[in-house]
Amino acid sequence: MLNELDISNLGPIRTAEVVFSPGMTAITGETGAGKSMLLNALSLVRGGQADTARVSEGEKGTWAQAVFDVSTAPAAQRMAEAAGVDVSDDELFLTRQVPLSGRSKAVLCGHTVPRSLLREISEQLITVHGQSDQLRLVAASRQRDFLDSFAGDTVVQGQFTEAWRKFRAFDDRVQQLSSQAAQARQRADYLRDSIGYIERVDPQPHEDDELKLQRDRIENAAAIMDAVGGALGALDSSQVSEADDAPSVVTLLSSAVSALRSVRNLPDLAALADDLDEVNTKVSDVVFSLSQQMETVDGDDADLDRINERIHDLNELTRRWGPNIEDVRAWHEKASYELEDIDASPEKVDELRKQCAAAREEALAVARELHTARRDAALVLSERVTAELGSLAMAGAKLTVTVTARSGDDALTSSGIDDVEFLFTPFPGAGERPLGKSASGGELSRLMLAMELSLADEVSSTETASSVHVPAMTFVFDEVDAGVGGEAAVELGKRLARLSRSSQVIVVTHLAQVASWADAQFVVEKAERAEGPAAEARVETQVSRVEGTARETEIARMLSGSDSETSLKHARELLKESTL
């Protein structure tokens, strides 16, 4: 609901503050007084195009701000919160600043935001029906949304939304996997070649380290033999020369141990004998190990070539998938699992295609139910709007809502299978034409009023009235009274008042029969103003609320152009009679 509109330096309006009624507000005033500036201000805060030509003469810029109660507009709240705006007080401030030079600035509750965000949020809060504004229901998608709102079958609509989401999820996954098929095949070929290469080499844990050690022993065999032979010759010469009968170190140590043990009852000598015996054991182990070394230190060039070739193969593996053999073996295991998944992907795609087809059939089934609901609602909406038009000085005018089910592979979309079109016949014999191409500005405004009334009546019949009502949507009607007079004007005002029971209504009107139904009335009028005693007076537009006798005077002026006693009496009677 629009609570307040503040304006500064917009055309002839230097400053204005308009506090709107929750129900119906009438904006009146003589032609040329500046009523259109209020609509221009609303256009600015709704994210419309800024026009520096509308900046008041002598000023540096214009400014407009609308304050909305969004306690019953959750969609607008979510948009604002997504932009980082706190709406805990259930109010949104939509502001536009237009400097005389430079770019305009869009502000939401003190936060600078893109102009598009003001437009998106305001679409959830306010709808303007007028010749200078884009018609809300010209777009086919808006017409379909309007029909769905009228149908009110939220269960089927929700079921279709979920079925469509499920189908799209499967379809997106199929498309993704299909588009990746070529890359997957290339990856699979690489994995197969790599896995086959590793398996042919068949690396064993720590094999490269062991082979390098063998290579070192073969390459240094002579030096090793000399070192081992020298050590054995010193410890036991018989191990290296059968002709040498010199006693070994082991023999000598054994003799020393025997000599010491020959003396009994001397603990010191016995301890020394034990120490020598332990040393002799260790020396014996060393001699044995050295003799084993003599036997293993061998190998020819053929062995060395074989080892070097194997090391080369292992190095090639570690270069590609290393840095060591353990990393190569780990990569081999991981690649094997990945190849299994890729090889299985055709089956996965086939399975996904089956699931996608099933999901599409499910969505189609719900879309057909939605088609039936829309078709039935279209008949009712057409009848109700046509009936309303007869009471709005448009006898013979007709609205026809058509719902046509599409066929073929592309029939199903996010909105179902239906093409919805609103066709308007302004008078008998004129022929049906698309909405927005077959009526004048005033006729279109009254057509929109008839449609909004039909929707409001349908919604209110299914809702429980609350003790406190905050309208979620604000409707602004401009030129709705064009070409209307007499009893039709009364009916027009009555229907605007009826719409204001469920929605906030703001109407710019020249007709007293319309304005008299309003809960609040504002008069836009020109006045001369001078800044100082010697200053030249300038004409400005003022906006003021009229109540009591002031409102009676304004209604009288609208009736006859004067405030004579007869006009005032007529005005009082009209105000008294204008009640639902």
Residue 255 pLDDT: 84
Residue 152 pLDDT: 87
Residues 6+ apart with CB under 8 A from 248: 235, 236, 237, 238, 287
Q: Is the pLDDT of residue 535 over 90?
A: no
State how beta strands 105-108 and 91-99 pair. antiparallel
pLDDT top residue among 535 and 546: 546
Asked if 138 and 447 touch (Cβ cutoff 8 Å), the reply is: no
Eight-class DSSP state of 207: H
Tens of pLDDT, residue by residue over 301-359, are: 677 788 888 989 999 999 999 899 999 999 999 999 888 877 766 777 788 889 999 99
Q: Give the whole-number percent of the chain exceeding pLDDT 70.
A: 90
Kindly state the average pLDDT of the residues 386-395.
Answer: 88
Asked if 3 and 68 touch (Cβ cutoff 8 Å), the reply is: yes
Residue 122 pLDDT: 93
Helix axes 181-201, 154-179, angle to 10 degrees: 50
Over the range 558-567, which residues count as b (16 or more CB within 10 Å of their CB) and which as e? bbeeebeeeb
Residue matched to tokens 């018609």:
135
Asked if 409 and 183 touch (Cβ cutoff 8 Å), the reply is: no
The two tokens of residue 555 are 């209604």
Least Cα distance to 476 among 168, 149, 66, 71 occurs for: 66
pLDDT top residue among 447 and 130: 447
> How many CB atoms are closer than 10 A to CB 177?
16
Q: Is the pLDDT of residue 221 over 80?
A: no
Least Cα distance to 370 among 151, 169, 162, 168 occurs for: 151
Least Cα distance to 55 among 99, 95, 18, 96 occurs for: 99
Q: What is the topology classification, in CATH, of domain 1-136+469-546?
A: Rossmann fold (3.40.50)
Kindly state the average pLDDT of the residues 445-449.
Answer: 86
Tens of pLDDT, residue by residue over 476-497, are: 998 788 888 888 899 999 999 9
d(Cα 555, Cα 512) in Å, to the nearest integer? 5
Residue 5's DSSP bridge partners are 18, 66
Asked if 478 and 501 touch (Cβ cutoff 8 Å), the reply is: no
The two tokens of residue 72 are 């019953």
Kindly state the average pLDDT of the residues 129-135.
Answer: 61
Distance of CA 90 to the CA centre of its chain: 23
Q: Is the pLDDT of residue 243 over 90?
A: no
Q: How far is CA 236 from CA 255, 297, 419, in A?
A: 15, 19, 108
pLDDT top residue among 220 and 469: 220
The two tokens of residue 83 are 């932009």
Tens of pLDDT, residue by residue over 81-94, are: 999 998 888 999 99
pLDDT top residue among 409 and 442: 409
Residue 577 pLDDT: 93
d(Cα 151, Cα 162) in Å, to the nearest integer? 19
Residue 242 pLDDT: 60
Half-sphere exposure of 408 (CA within 13 A, CB side): 4
Q: Is the pLDDT of residue 381 over 90?
A: yes
d(Cα 482, Cα 485) in Å, to the nearest integer? 9
Task: Compute the Cα dihedral for 425, 430, 432, 433 and give only its sign.
Answer: negative
Domain boundaries, the chain: 1-136+469-546, 187-336, 549-580
Q: Is the pLDDT of residue 5 over 50?
A: yes
Write a three-state SS string for 424-444. Answer: EECCCCCCCEECCCCCCHHHH
The confidence band for 186, taking pLDDT boundaries of 50, 70 and 90, is confident
Residue 465 pLDDT: 43
Q: What burial class does residue 285 get, using C-beta atoms within 10 Å of its C-beta: 0-12 exposed, 13-18 middle, 19+ buried?
A: exposed
Average per-residue pLDDT for the chain: 86
d(Cα 322, Cα 314) in Å, to the nearest integer? 10
State how beta strands 398-405 and 126-129 pair. unpaired
- Phi and psi at residue 362, to the nearest 5°: -65, -45
Tens of pLDDT, residue by residue over 105-116, are: 999 999 999 999
Q: Considering only CA atoms, give the Rg of the chain.
A: 48
Eight-class DSSP state of 64: E
The terminus-to-terminus CA distance of the chain in angstroms comes to 22
Tens of pLDDT, residue by residue over 60-88, are: 999 999 999 999 899 999 999 999 998 88
Q: Is the pLDDT of residue 240 over 70?
A: no
The pTM of the whole model exceeds 0.75: no
Kindly state the average pLDDT of the residues 17-34.
Answer: 91
Asked if 88 and 24 touch (Cβ cutoff 8 Å), the reply is: no
- Phi and psi at residue 561, to the nearest 5°: 85, 5
